[in-house]
Structure 1
Amino acid sequence: MDESLLLALNISTLAIIIFSAHLLILRASERHAYLPLAICLLAIGIVICQPTLASVAKPWQPTILIFSLPAILLIAPTFWLYVVGITAETPWQFQDASKRHFIPALIGCAVSLLALFVPYDVQYALLIEGNENILKSTSEMIRYIAYGTLIATLLLVLGWVIQSGIYFYKVVKRLTQYRQHLKDLFASTESKEIRWLSWLLLAVGVVWTATAVNIVLDNLVFATQLNAGIAGSVILVMIWSIALWGLRQKPGFEELYDSKEQLPIGLTNSEPSQSKYQRSALDEAHASQIANKIENAMHNDRLYLDASLSLQKLAKHISTSPNYISQTLNESLGANFFDYVNKYRVEAAKQMLLESNDTVLNIAMNVGFNAKSSFYAAFKKETQLTPSQFRKSMNQS
């Protein structure tokens, strides 16, 4: 029964991987960021397919297991490139700089190709049956190749543990910078924040830690074994989540890709924040004029009511460079675009809370917010109260 369950879970996971990777590859012609995710999913498929192979294609088990080494070394870098692609400020494509991320996988591929020189019966005995005694009956050269590839594999697997940790940190850092940069360009960021990736990273972190500990213990200390049913279920849910959200996710800055205006640099800026505008030609008098235009657009034109308001829209409205607006907001008005606009929205909401009996959700929508959660967060940041608490306290006074 356990083997049947494991096989069903494994086949279901592989079916999702193949179907999703196919769709991602088809869409990669329009959004190149989908291609690394497709490669990532296929690499995971190679790594986890042993239960299915044992049932329907047993002769292929040793070969696929050998090539699980480069596959496992592909997972983290391709996932990283996917994250870079969907958070890029301009349309992302594979570049020469991207190639360095595949060096460990290429080394793993070389080791795998070397392992293919070991006769098939020896491969099967070593990798599937765990029978090392077969090496006693082989030639000295085969033994050298077998032991050499096993040692290289162990070192690369330990390297994978380190590699995964590095890329995990890079992804978390990238998402943090990305979400902060969104606030420089958009007044509403809920649909662009890619929160599902954070939850996925948390799950991946737990699974990665458990897997890494298991691999290290299994290779260096004593044999360990994870519950196959639980592991298969967790992998199925994670792959389903990656496939579902990965297919739905659009690049966060996609609506700005066709912009001819030069937008503020965020993710690729390596300068400290205090020197970000050091080479700008914006002087104090010009900044004061821009500040007056911005405040006029909010006070008189009530531009903040537009739920899809962006820095680019504001720039067109007041006929000013987005870079200069961003600099003026940060240096003269002391706020990023997101906080500045939402401050006006909160002020408008406060007035409506006092003057009407409309619901909090309707008021949030009417003043430009497009999610109740973001309204509550912005309102509490400004007043230290929830909208309901504010209405109640002001009515009592």
Structure 2
Amino acid sequence: MIDPVILVLTLVMVGQVLLSVPVLLGKVKHLPVNLPLALFLLACGVLAMVPIVRIQFLEEYQVFSALAFPTFLLLCPCLWLYVEGITSHQRWKPNRGHSRHFALLLPGLLVSAMMLFLSKEEHTALFIDDLDATTLIGIVVSISLLVIMVLWLGQCIYTTYLIARRLILYKKRLKDTFSNHEGKELNWLLFIAGSIWLLILSTAFYSNIMNSLLFNVRAEAVLSLLLIWSAAHYGLQQKSGLLEYEEESDRELCQGEDRLECNERAEAIKVNKIALAERENKKYQRSALSVEQANRIAIKMNEVMKTEALYLDSTLSLQKLSRHLTISPNYISQTLNETLSTNFFDFINQWRIEAAKPKILENKSTILEVALEVGFNARSSFYKAFKQEVGLSPREFRKQHCSSLKASK
């Protein structure tokens, strides 16, 4: 008889998948990046059913296990393709190059086919009683499973590395582009989902190879539920900030043009984006911007912040500042990075913090009200930026200043 707790947790997981996957698939036409996430959740849902089928539907378990095994091999590539797509500055679409991430799927399908040809007794011995294989096909299946599991664990480690590197680059590009990141940064739940996912995979691998459990079955079910819930919750609400920025730029460039001119401009933009992607790691190697020009741009940026207080606009972006100054975004970005040794995000927030200091000392408004007045979208981001710039929290800054005034008297 299956543990009632395991049964409830499994049903909740499957319910979450059944609710989330149709919604994600319904948005695939508009957001193709939802496809790999939907496949990832679907694979998680199938794997979540294994304990129930193994105990309650023993007669069908052989067919189900053969169908479920390849879903393991979908987890790594689907999660990576989703992260790749959601962090892209171009509209993501599946292509032939992505097929290399599914290299383990074909041998996995072959092993699944062989599992169907095992006798009931041999399948029970291998997958339920955990006994050694006694027939040739059983030995081949056992060895093949072991080899694929080892390769799969390596793929998981490599995928985690790819995701971490991608997120670091994405965060850097956000800082070079926006003055506020709310709704654009990848949700921290993704990191939790990735950690739980890797832990579950390691646990499953250890359990099968070492014939012992790192966690009990209930703990594994809870971890699986957290994984599915966080991935679904994150995926249903997350959008790519970089993609929205590029689409906004495209629309602005096409304003006032007829359809043909706009299409021609869109093609030119597409070619330019490809070139930019190829040069992503080659910072300004062939820029025509001279040191004298960069200094003039830096002076102009500081002057416009001082006189017009553009930093008060919470939606201020590199593109908006570029239009206001009639200077190329690339030149502004290069000036910030090389001349001022900062990025767009920190540059704007420095001005916001300076504007916030006298308001904090006046003590006439709450910290949240001050944050919103100077251009921040959230109290938490204001606290983080203030402490990074000043070395103190807003309250500590106010308290220190009051203490200094009392001491001087």
Q: TM-score, normalised by structure 2?
A: 0.86
Q: Does 1:234 align with 2:234?
A: no
TM superposition shift of 1:131: 5.9
Describe how 1:118-129 pairs up with structure 2 within 5 A.
118-119=118-119, 122-129=122-129
Paired amino acid for 2:308: D
Kindly report which structure 2 residues correspond to 1:60-71, keeping only aligned pairs within 5 A, or say none. 60-71=60-71
Cα distance in structure 1, aligned partners of 2:123 and 2:360: 73
Counterpart residue number, 1:192: 184
Instruction: Mark the runs of 5 or more structure 2 residues left unpaired by the alignment.
Output: 254-268
Structure 1 position 204, deviation (Å): 3.1
For 2:173 and 2:205, locate their aligned partners in 1 and report how far apart those are by CA, in whole Å: 33
Counterpart-to-counterpart distance in 1, 2:220 and 2:399: 50
Looking at structure 1, the residues matched to 303 and 193 of structure 2 have their Cα atoms a distance apart, in angstroms, of 43
- Distance change (3 Å), C-alpha of 1:326 and 1:365: same
Tell me how far apart the structure 2 counterparts of residues 199 and 225 of structure 1 sit (CA, whole Å): 19
User: Are 1:214 and 2:207 matched, yes or no?
Assistant: yes
Secondary structure, aligned partner of 2:361: helix
Q: Distance in 1 between matches of 2:316 and 2:61?
A: 55
Q: Does 1:376 align with 2:369?
A: no
Matched, 1:312 2:285: no
Residues 1:350 and 2:343 are matched in the alignment: no
How far apart, in 2, do the equivalents of 1:264 and 1:96 lie? 20
1:171 is aligned to 2:160: no
Following TM superposition, by how much is the alpha carbon of 1:47 offset from its aligned partner in structure 2, in angstroms?
2.2
Counterpart of 1:252 in structure 2 is 241
Q: Tell me the distance in 1 between the aligned counterparts of 2:315 and 2:214.
A: 51
Q: Aligned in 2, Cα 1:55/1:27: closer, same or farther, shift over 3 Å?
A: farther
Deviation at 1:121, TM superposition (A): 5.6
Q: Distance in 1 between matches of 2:356 and 2:379?
A: 12
Deviation at 1:7, TM superposition (A): 1.9
The one-character-per-residue Cα deviations of 1:209-254 (angstroms, maximum 9, x if unpaired) are 4333333312xxxx54842222212212221121112111112323
1:288–1:332 Cα contact (<8 Å) kept: yes
Query: Against the structure 1 CA distance between its residues 196 and 5, is the aligned structure 2 distance closer, same or farther, given a 3 Å change threshold?
Result: closer
Q: Distance in 2 between matches of 1:224 and 1:284?
A: 62
1:76 matched to 2:70: no
1:286 aligned partner, one-letter code: Q
Q: 1:294: how far off? A: 1.7
Give the whole-Å Cα distance in 1 for the aligned partners of 2:208 and 2:57.
26
* 2:206 alignment partner, SS class: helix
Q: Is the 8 A contact 1:183 1:336 kept in 2?
A: yes
Residue 367 (1) aligns with residue 369 (2): no
CA contact (8 A) 1:25 1:38 kept: yes
* 1:360/1:88 CA distance change after superposition, 3 Å: same
Distance in structure 1 (CA, Å) of the matches to 2:107 and 2:342: 48
Deviations 1:283-315 (A, max 9, x none): 233323322332232111111001111111111
Alignment partner, residue 138 of structure 1: none
Secondary structure of the 1:282 match is coil
Name the SS of the counterpart of 2:90 in structure 1. Answer: coil
CA distance in 2, matches of 1:126, 1:202: 30
Structure 1 residue 55, shift from structure 2 partner: 6.1
CA offsets 1:87-107 (integer angstroms, 9 cap, x no match) = 111111112221100011222
Answer yes or no: is the 8 Å Cα contact 1:184–1:326 preserved in 2: yes
Separation (CA, whole Å) in 2 of partners of 1:82 and 1:271: 20
CA distance in 2, matches of 1:215, 1:129: 12
Q: 1:207 to 1:131 in 2, by over 3 A?
A: closer
Deviates more, 1:154-163 or 1:3-12: 3-12
Question: What letter corresponds to residue 217 of structure 1 in structure 2?
Answer: M
Over residues 247-294 of structure 1, what are the superposed CA-to-partner deviations in whole Å (9 max), with x where a residue is unaligned? 11112323213123779999956765xx51011122233323322332
Change (3 A) 1:265 1:372: farther
Query: Aligned with 1:192: secondary structure?
Result: coil
User: 1:354 Cα deviation (Å)?
Assistant: 2.6
Specify the alignment match of 1:154 in structure 2: 146
Change (3 A) 1:266 1:3: farther
Q: Count residues in correspondence.
A: 383
**Structure 2 equivalent of residue 31 of structure 1:** 31
Structure 2 counterpart of 1:66, one-letter code: A
Percent identity (aligned):
36
Cα distance in 1 for partners of 2:287, 2:383 equals: 36
Partner of 1:48: 48
Q: Structure 1 residue aligned with 2:290, among 283, 296, 300?
A: 283
What is the RMSD of the two structures over their aligned residues, measured on CA atoms?
2.6
The amino acid of 2:367's aligned partner reads V
Structure 1, unpaired ranges of 5+: 136-142
2:110, 2:273 → 1: CA distance? 43
> Which whole-Å CA distance do the structure 2 matches of 1:33 and 1:72 have between them?
20
Contact 2:47-2:71 at 8 Å conserved across structures: yes
| Residue of structure 1 in register with 2:257 after alignment | none
Q: 1:25 to 1:57 in 2, by over 3 A?
A: farther
Superposed CA offset, 1:119-176 (max 9, x none): 456435543454668x5xxxxxxx3222212211111112222111111122122112
After alignment, is 262-271 or 67-76 more displaced?
Answer: 262-271
Query: Are residues 55 and 117 of structure 1, via their aligned partners in 2, closer, same or farther at CA, if it must alter by over 3 Å?
Result: closer
